[in-house]
């Protein structure tokens, strides 16, 4: 009896780089991600409805002006069979829509959403950044 296995090359982190729109409300300066306050959800959609969803953890990131950079941990994505397909769209620069949930002198909380490079996939995240 044989066992069919799929071997994937291990990747330490995947860098998500995105330009946030609208940029006029975003604060100036650089903010660091609070990793315990970040939820990133990837979804494969059909006709605009999520068919498969998976959450992925972030190990770090920055928010500077209108540029968001997150380091994501691919091994934290627990979606059988198509997890690698969801990650495929993260290696290209993205333009995502941002909404400021909370802002003060030291903290910015964002809700961000938008399509990945694949027209079938979307990313949604909520994150807190501090100076």
pLDDT in tens, 33-92: 999 999 999 888 888 788 888 899 999 999 998 999 999 998 888 876 677 777 776 778
Whose tokens are 């002006």? That residue is: 65
Look at the pTM and tell me if it is higher than 0.75: yes
What is the Cα–Cα distance from 66 to 19, expressed in whole angstroms? Answer: 6
Question: CATH 2.40.128.110: does it fit domain 14-130?
Answer: yes
């Amino acid at each position: 009896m044989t066992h069919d296995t799929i071997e994937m090359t291990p990747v330490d982190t995947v860098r998500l780089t995105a330009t946030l729109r609208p940029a006029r409300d975003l604060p100036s300066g650089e903010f660091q991600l609070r990793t315990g306050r970040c939820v990133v959800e990837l979804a494969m959609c059909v006709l605009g409805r999520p068919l498969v969803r998976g959450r992925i953890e972030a190990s770090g990131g920055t928010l500077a002006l209108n540029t968001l950079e997150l380091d994501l941990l691919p091994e934290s994505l627990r979606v059988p069979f198509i997890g690698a397909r969801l990650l495929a769209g993260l290696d290209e620069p993205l333009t995502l829509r941002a909404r400021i949930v909370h802002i003060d002198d030291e903290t910015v909380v964002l809700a961000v959403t938008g399509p990945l490079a694949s027209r079938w996939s979307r990313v949604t995240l909520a994150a807190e950044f501090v100076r």
